[in-house]
């Protein structure tokens, strides 16, 4: 905020600029509060808070008679309100409220599972809370960060920001070209002040002052008997850069999500992948990403290494994950050996491949009633806990013939555990994520898998609506725990399933990313801008030399910051110290003060201290206007 | 078990002993601070207020000059005057008031805090040595390091001759709580990291987060006291009666303006670092999960915290929002930070679930 006092604050920037010019012309004239106002004006480009109430009719003014009058009045009124709303939208107050709303609005997204973050979890939550789900869905609570209300808040905020930043930038350019305002008449009224008498001439002092300030990289401007100087424009520049960088971030983020391409692929050891749409398990392209943008490359998973803590309190927690791969570029490129780890993605061509997850795929062989192999191979199961208890389904859709020779479809659904334990409470589950005691617990179905219905099906789940569970001789559902090598016979010689072994799978995310560099650049700019904005002081220093009647010159220094800080006083002291050689202080002409004695102000220095006197009693005038105790 | 592991075990045990010893010494420091406050209440502190007595800050301009001989000048005196936002009320003399015993206890408390800090530092270093990595891989380690950094910053400020002894009691109390919580609830044995934490960004991101947190914490203590002192000063200026015990405590605190300034400086100082923390986190997320921002619970709450602190900085620059309102915003922002630290790790399962509890 500017350092103007209340009534002045309501005035427009143009008026203040005029003030400043007037002050330049007046030089040392005037002795009112207004002086300080212009000296303190434009220390910042922050928008001025508007005071005063607006009511219907505020802008229309006098309504002339007749329809022309009405139209004119209505136009003035409307444009007045539009301008008023724009000023409100771009005011600090609204920016503050919008920022507050933004942080509030972000909260629900952290409490309700988000579809964009974890689809499976969001779905599970919705299934578990059927009553509130429709309401939540209509409020967009499952995709908060792309919901209309969240978007509305940040769009308004950024409009406000633009409306704030543009005029400020331009005002700032104006300030860069203008000269520091002339010294107020009464320097003692400024927050930091020092003075002494010297035998040096006025010109000499002012010349030395100019040199000093220039050397300190202040911008200086001499008016009459005073040198006005100003420094710390980087503060404003930093602040503007920071806010502009926020735009950079927003744009990079938007570009990144519109042009990104991102797909997931699960690969079993020994399997491979080549980069085309049909190969992905799921593919989430941005709006503007097309299949043509896919770079030609591929890779195969040779092996997956995982190690886990074998003992200690964190037993079972992972220690290393590494996917050993071969990759190739182009249609028939050379194969290169490499590996991908959790924090070490691999860049292949223009894409980045991340290791996202891993699990086990039991290898089974299914035979039909004729003894013919109708299904063989690894089937990935999905882990459901930290010890990799996994669930999955082996679906046999084709070729199976039952005892009577009829076509049928089979499904084996169950649990795979790398280190199996069966207890009565938890049922079969795993107690350790490595393959110490692998076992597969299965139950079997036959009937219609529903795969021909054309609806997409989850490969890890069984739609058992049209399926019948096989029953054992005791009439109970058929269920068995198999160790590697075991065979489960279907009832009535309907065939068998053999648990041949286990393979590991790993899932990868292939990402095509754009705008990351821009986002990073904007972030760095934002930090630099912030540092400038928060650590640099914008301040003005005036040095005045007044020739006195007795041939001595009175030197006065005063400093004013955009915000109050002890540093200004320190700096002023330092400046005074450096000015002293060119303007050596004179001993006192007042005989009383020259005497040694206890300092009335308890100055620890055993020297003579004298009062150079002040011209005004500050108590009769208001202190500096409300600036807040900003450091 | 290999020999190397046994050595590590030793370090882990040393670390635990040191933490307990540090807690014991912090307890004594706490008691000494209490004594400081109690003895301090014997001294009648007259509140020195320009607003209430004479408007005595007329600029007196002095040039100091040695008697006799050539004129050698001291640094010229600079007269400063404060703005209207502070009430012209001077800072209180501190917890000890003008009481000498109180002051002695205060000094003892600070010395004990230095000792406790040394033990605390030792504990953190041993913990690091026991796992051969930076000691902030789970919540126990975060909490102990966090408390250590907060105390270290406080002692650093004292060493830099800043008048911050008034924080002592509040800081020592909360560090005791923090360590108690860490030892009793969050304790996890020394161990290796899960693969997702194998990254030098861990080092950068988490250390910045801990430092930011510690500074935000000191600022929050200042803000909290500011609110009390501000109400008190408002009552005083309005001539309303205040409870004498309360007044006695309040009088010894720094003025509302000083507390406010302290809080602002701390917050503003560390805001860029916190911004960097969030950015470092997203760089790490980019490497680990293939996207730099994905609205994971931890990411969301660090965003909320960041926006809340931006709100606070804005509030300070907005007419009608300075003072208590801005202070309230700062406390909300700190609450967000704490929730992100404890709440998200414990209550919300996300990608950042490595709390070890
Ligand atoms: C996108 C959201 C925004 C964020 C995260 C943000 C953040 C910040 C931060 C951290 C500061 C502190 C720097 C300082 O105190 O000097 C600041 C200052 C400032 N902001 Fe924003 N801001 C945002 C939007 C806006 C908007 C919409 C406006 C326009 C009304 C605005 C105007 C200002 C001004 C004038 C300052 C300088 C205040 C001063 O000089 O003390 N900001 N902003």
Partnered with residue A471 across adjacent β-strands are A477
Measured in Å, residue A172 CA sits from the centre of ligand 1 at 15
pLDDT at A454 over 70: no
Tens digit of pLDDT for each residue in A308-336?
878 766 677 777 889 999 998 876 678 88
Neighbouring CB atoms inside 10 A of B244's CB total 8
Q: Please say if the pLDDT value at position A348 is more than 70.
A: yes
Number of H helices and E strands in chain B, helices first, is: 10, 2
CB A49 within 8 A of CB A61: no
Sorting pLDDT into bands at 50, 70 and 90, what band is A347? confident
B311–A610 C-beta distance less than 8 A: no
Interchain pair B80, A312: CB under 8 A = no
Q: Given a cut of 50, is residue A15 above it in pLDDT? A: no
Mean pLDDT calculated for residue range A266-294: 82
Check CB contact of B234 with chain A, cutoff 8 Å. Answer: no
Looking at residue A90, its pLDDT comes to: 81
From B105, B84, B102, B81, select the one nearest B93 (Cα to Cα).
B102
Provide DSSP, A555-574.
EEEEEEESS--HHHHHHHHH
Q: Are strands A479-483 and A439-447 parallel, antiparallel or unpaired?
A: antiparallel
**Residue A498, pLDDT score:** 94
Closest CA to B126 of B209, B267, B11, B231: B11
Among B257, B195, B204, residue whose Cα is nearest residue B232: B257
Tell me the pLDDT band of B87, cut-offs 50, 70 and 90. low
What tokens appear for A357 in the block?
């997850």
Q: What is the mean pLDDT of residues A120-134?
A: 87
- Count Cα neighbours of A445 within 13 Å in the Cβ-side half-sphere: 21
Q: Which of A93-102, A258-267, A446-455 has the lowest mean pLDDT?
A: A446-455
The answer on pLDDT for B321 being more than 90 is no
Residue B16 is predicted with a pLDDT of 87
**pLDDT band of A551, cuts 50, 70, 90:** confident
* Residues with a CB atom less than 6 Å from ligand 1: A 44, 46-47, 90-92, 95, 99, 157, 160-161, 164, 239, 243, 246, 533-534; B 310, 313-314, 317
Separation of CA B265 and ligand 1 centre (Å): 17
The 10s digit of each residue's pLDDT in B19-29 is 999 999 999 99
Across the range A341-348, mean pLDDT stands at 84
Residue whose Cα lies nearest atom 15 of ligand 1: it is B313
The answer to whether the beta carbons of residues A437 and A420 sit under 8 Å apart is: yes
pLDDT category at B277 given cuts 50, 70, 90 is very high
Short-list A480, A484, A491, CA closest to A364: A484
Q: How confident is the model at residue B150 (pLDDT cuts 50, 70, 90)?
A: very high
Q: Which two tokens stand for residue A580?
A: 């002293």
From A45, A243, A522, mutation site for ligand 1 pocket: most ligand atoms within 8 A of C-beta: A243
Q: Is it the case that residue B104 has pLDDT exceeding 70?
A: yes
Lowest-confidence segment of A132-141, A291-300, A313-322, A342-351 by average pLDDT: A313-322
Q: In whole angstroms, give the CA distance from residue A484 to residue A474.
A: 25
Classify each residue of A286-321 as buried b or exposed e, where b means 16 or more C-beta atoms within 10 Å of its C-beta: beebeeeebeebbbbbeebebebbeeeebebbbbeb
Higher pLDDT, B8 or A374: A374
Question: pLDDT tens-digit profile of A141-154?
Answer: 998 998 999 999 99
What pLDDT band is residue B69 in, cutting at 50, 70 and 90?
A: very low
A158 three-class SS? helix
For B232-256, what is the mean pLDDT? 84
Radius of gyration of chain A (CA): 39
Q: How far is CA A451 from the centre of its chain?
A: 44
Residue B276 clears pLDDT 90, i.e. is over it: yes
Structure confidence at residue A286 (pLDDT): 77
Q: At what angle do helices B244-251 and B200-237 cross, to 10 degrees?
A: 130
Reported confidence tier of residue A51, pLDDT bands at 50, 70, 90: low
Report the distance separating Cα B211 and Cα B277, nearest Å: 10
Mean pLDDT score of chain B, rounded to an integer?
80
Q: Place A185 in a pLDDT band, splitting at 50, 70 and 90.
A: confident
Nearest CA to B154 among B29, B239, B275, B278? B29
Asked if A572 and B323 come within 8 Å (Cβ–Cβ), the reply is: no
Distance separating alpha carbons of residues A17 and A179, to the nearest angstrom: 11
Higher pLDDT, B269 or B69: B269
Is residue A544's pLDDT more than 80?
A: yes
Q: In residues, how long is chain A?
A: 631
Residue A243: exposed, middle, or buried by beta-carbon count in 10 A (0-12, 13-18, 19+)? buried
Q: What is the mean pLDDT of residues A66-94?
A: 87
Instruction: State mean pLDDT over A117-137.
Output: 86
Burial class (CB in 10 A: 0-12, 13-18, 19+), A73: middle
Closest alpha carbon to A511 in A228, A184, A330, A275? A275
Give tens-digit pLDDT for A239-257: 999 999 999 999 999 888 8
Touching A: B residues 298-327, CB under 8 Å: 300-301, 303-304, 307-308, 310-311, 313-323
Whether the per-residue pLDDT at A492 is higher than 90: the answer is no
For the sheet containing A335-341, what is the strand order?
A272-274, A297-308, A318-329, A335-341
Residue range B1-5: mean pLDDT, rounded: 36
HSE toward the beta carbon, residue B50, CA cutoff 13 A: 19
Give the pLDDT score at A402.
84
A383-392, A505-514, B20-29, B63-72: which has the minimum mean pLDDT?
B63-72
Q: Using the predicted structure, report yes or no on whether residue B220 has a pLDDT greater than 90.
A: yes
Rounded Cα distance, A343 and A412, in Å:
36
Please provide residue A240's backbone torsions phi and psi, each rounded to the nearest 5 degrees: -65, -40
For residue B154, pLDDT over 90 is answered with: yes
pLDDT at A43: 74
- For the CA of A90, the closest atom of ligand 1 is 30
CA dist A49 and A91 (Å) reads: 7
Where are the alpha helices (H) located in B132-255, listed in sequence order?
A: 139-159, 168-184, 200-237, 244-251
B82 touches chain A (CB under 8 A): yes
**H-type alpha helices, A498-630:** 516-535, 566-579, 591-594
Confidence of residue B32 (pLDDT cuts 50, 70, 90): very high
Q: Is B185 on the interface with A (CB under 8 A)?
A: no
Averaged over B87-114, what is the pLDDT? 84
Mean pLDDT to the nearest integer, A31-40: 52
pLDDT of residue B44: 61
Say what the pLDDT of residue B351 is.
55
Cα angle: B134, vertex B136, B139; to 5 degrees: 165
Rounded Cα–Cα distance for residues A372 and A350 (Å): 46
Residue A298 — very low, low, confident or very high, per pLDDT cuts 50/70/90? confident
* pLDDT, tens digit (0-9, with 9 covering 90-100), for A468-491: 898 888 888 888 899 999 999 988
CA max distance for chain A: 131
Q: What is this structure's pTM?
A: 0.80
- pLDDT, chain A, mean: 80
The confidence band for A14, taking pLDDT boundaries of 50, 70 and 90, is very low
**Among residues 355-394 of chain A, which lie with CB inside 8 Å of chain B?**
356
Secondary structure of A333-350 in HEC code, one letter for each residue: CCEEEEEEECCECEEECC
Q: What is the C-alpha to C-alpha distance for residues A340 and A357, in angstroms, rounded to an integer?
A: 12
Residue B162: which pLDDT band, with cuts at 50, 70 and 90? confident
Q: What is the mean pLDDT of residues A542-562?
A: 85
- Indicate whether A22 pLDDT > 50: no
Cβ–Cβ < 8 Å for A614, B65: no
The mean pLDDT value for B161-168 works out to 89
pLDDT at A224 over 50: yes
CB A119 within 8 A of CB A92: no
Count other Cβ atoms within 10 Å, centred on residue B132: 11
Please indicate if any CB of chain A lies within 8 Å of the CB of B67: yes
pLDDT at A597: 36
Say yes or no: ipTM exceeds 0.95: no
**Is pLDDT above 50 for A609?**
no
**Residue carrying the six token digits 């916190």:** B274
Asked if pLDDT for residue A377 goes beyond 80, the answer is yes
CA distances from A350 to A280, A330, A347, A509, A512 (A): 17, 12, 7, 14, 7
Among candidates A106, A345, A519 on the partner chain, residue whose Cβ is nearest the Cβ of B287: A345
Is the pLDDT at B46 greater than 70, yes or no?
Answer: no
Q: How does residue A450 score in pLDDT terms, banded at 50, 70 and 90? A: confident
In the prediction, which pLDDT does A36 show?
A: 60
CB proximity under 8 Å: B 98-127 to A: none
DSSP string, A218-238: -EEEEETTEEEEEE-HHHHHH
Q: Does residue B181 have a pLDDT over 80? A: yes
* pLDDT(A8) > 70: no
| Ramachandran angles phi, psi of A498, nearest 5° | -115, 135
Are the C-beta atoms of residues A543 and A556 closer than 8 Å to each other?
Answer: yes
Residues 6+ apart with CB under 8 A from B200: none
How far apart CA A376 and CA A367 sit, in angstroms, is 9
pLDDT (0 to 100) of residue A380: 92
Give the pLDDT mean for A124-151.
Answer: 90
Q: Is the pLDDT of residue A156 over 90?
A: yes
């Amino acid at each position: 905020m500017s350092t103007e006092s209340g009534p002045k604050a309501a005035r427009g920037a143009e008026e203040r600029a005029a003030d400043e010019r007037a002050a330049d012309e007046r030089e040392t004239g005037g002795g009112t509060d207004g002086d300080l106002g212009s000296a303190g004006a434009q220390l910042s480009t922050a928008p001025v808070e508007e005071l005063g109430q607006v009511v219907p009719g505020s802008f229309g003014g006098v309504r002339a008679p007749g329809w022309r009058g009405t139209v004119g009045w209505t136009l003035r009124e409307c444009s007045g309100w539009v301008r008023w709303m724009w000023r409100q939208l771009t005011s600090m107050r609204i920016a503050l409220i919008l920022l507050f709303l933004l942080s509030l609005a972000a909260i629900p997204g952290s409490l309700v599972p988000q579809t964009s973050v974890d689809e499976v979890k969001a779905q599970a939550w919705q299934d578990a809370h059927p009553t509130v789900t429709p309401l939540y869905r209509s409020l967009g609570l499952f995709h908060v960060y792309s919901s209309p209300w969240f978007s509305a808040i940040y769009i308004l905020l950024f409009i406000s920001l633009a409306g704030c930043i543009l005029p400020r930038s331009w005002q700032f350019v104006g300030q860069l070209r203008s000269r520091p305002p002339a010294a107020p008449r009464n320097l003692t009224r400024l927050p930091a002040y020092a003075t002494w008498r010297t035998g040096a001439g006025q010109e000499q002092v002012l010349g030395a002052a100019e040199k000093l300030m220039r050397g300190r990289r202040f911008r200086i401007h001499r008016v009459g008997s005073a040198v006005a100087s100003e420094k710390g424009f980087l503060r404003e520049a930093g602040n503007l850069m920071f806010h502009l960088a926020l735009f950079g971030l927003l744009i990079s983020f938007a570009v990144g999500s519109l042009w990104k391409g991102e797909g997931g692929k699960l690969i079993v050891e020994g399997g491979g992948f080549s980069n085309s749409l049909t190969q992905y398990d799921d593919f989430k392209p941005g709006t503007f990403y097309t299949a043509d943008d896919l770079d030609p490359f591929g890779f195969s998973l040779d092996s997956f290494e995982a190690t886990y803590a074998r003992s200690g309190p964190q037993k079972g927690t992972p220690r290393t994950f590494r996917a050993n791969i071969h990759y190739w570029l182009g249609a028939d490129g050379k194969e290169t050996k490499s590996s991908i780890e959790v924090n070490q993605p691999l860049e292949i061509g223009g894409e980045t491949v991340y290791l996202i997850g891993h699990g086990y795929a039991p290898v089974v062989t299914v035979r039909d009633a004729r003894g013919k192999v109708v299904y063989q191979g690894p089937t990935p199961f999905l882990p459901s806990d930290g010890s990799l208890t996994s669930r999955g389904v082996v679906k046999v859709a084709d070729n199976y013939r039952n005892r009577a020779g009829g076509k049928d479809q089979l499904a084996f659904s169950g649990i795979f555990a790398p280190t199996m334990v069966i207890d009565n409470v938890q049922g079969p589950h795993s107690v350790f994520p490595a393959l110490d005691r692998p076992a597969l617990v299965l139950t079997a179905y036959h009937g219609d898998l529903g795969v021909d219905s054309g609806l997409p099906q989850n490969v890890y789940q069984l739609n058992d609506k049209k399926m019948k569970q096989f029953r054992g001789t005791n009439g109970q559902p058929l269920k068995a725990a198999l160790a590697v090598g075991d065979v489960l016979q279907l009832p009535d010689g309907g065939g068998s399933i053999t648990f041949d072994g286990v393979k590991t799978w790993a899932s990868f995310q292939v990402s095509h990313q754009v705008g990351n560099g821009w986002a990073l650049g904007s972030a760095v700019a934002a930090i630099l801008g912030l540092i400038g904005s928060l650590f640099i002081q914008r301040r003005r220093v005036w040095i005045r030399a007044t020739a006195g009647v007795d041939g001595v010159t009175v030197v006065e220094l005063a400093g004013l910051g955009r915000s109050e800080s002890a540093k200004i006083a320190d700096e002023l002291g330092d400046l005074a110290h450096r000015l002293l050689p060119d303007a050596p202080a004179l001993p006192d002409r007042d005989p009383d003060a020259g005497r040694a004695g206890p300092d009335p102000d308890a100055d620890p220095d055993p020297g003579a201290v004298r009062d150079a006197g002040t011209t005004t009693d500050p108590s009769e005038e208001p202190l500096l206007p409300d600036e807040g105790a900003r450091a | 078990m290999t020999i190397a592991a046994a050595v590590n075990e030793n370090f882990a045990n040393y670390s635990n002993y040191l933490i307990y010893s540090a807690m014991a010494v912090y307890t004594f420091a706490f008691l000494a601070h209490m004594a400081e406050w109690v003895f301090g209440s014997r001294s009648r502190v007259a509140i020195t207020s320009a607003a209430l007595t004479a408007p005595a800050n007329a600029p007196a301009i002095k040039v100091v000059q040695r008697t006799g001989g050539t004129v050698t000048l001291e640094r010229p005196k600079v007269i400063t005057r404060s703005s209207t936002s502070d009430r012209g009320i001077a800072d209180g003399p501190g917890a000890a008031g003008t009481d000498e015993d109180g002051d002695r206890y205060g000094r003892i408390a600070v010395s004990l805090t230095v000792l406790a800090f040394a033990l605390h530092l030792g504990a953190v270093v041993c913990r690091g040595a026991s796992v051969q990595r930076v000691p902030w891989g789970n919540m126990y380690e975060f909490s102990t390091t966090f408390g250590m950094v907060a105390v270290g910053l406080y002692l650093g400020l004292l060493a830099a001759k800043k008048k911050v002894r008034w924080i002592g009691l509040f800081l020592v109390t909360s560090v005791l709580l923090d360590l108690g919580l860490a030892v009793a609830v969050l304790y996890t044995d020394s161990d290796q990291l899960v693969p997702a934490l194998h990254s030098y960004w861990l080092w950068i991101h988490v250390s910045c987060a801990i430092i930011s947190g510690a500074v935000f914490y000191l600022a929050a203590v200042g803000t909290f006291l500011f609110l009390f002192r501000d109400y008190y000063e408002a009552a005083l200026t309005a001539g309303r009666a205040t409870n004498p015990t309360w007044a006695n405590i309040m009088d010894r605190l720094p003025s509302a303006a000083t507390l406010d300034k302290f809080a602002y400086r701390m917050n503003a100082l560390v805001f860029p670092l916190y911004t960097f923390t969030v950015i470092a986190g997203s760089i790490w997320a980019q490497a680990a999960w293939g996207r730099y921002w994905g609205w994971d619970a931890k990411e969301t709450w660090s965003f909320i915290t960041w926006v809340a602190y931006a709100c606070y900085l804005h509030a300070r620059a907005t007419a009608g929002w300075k003072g208590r309102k801005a202070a309230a915003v700062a406390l909300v922002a700190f609450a967000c930070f704490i929730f992100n630290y404890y709440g998200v790790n414990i209550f919300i399962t996300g990608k950042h679930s490595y709390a070890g509890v």
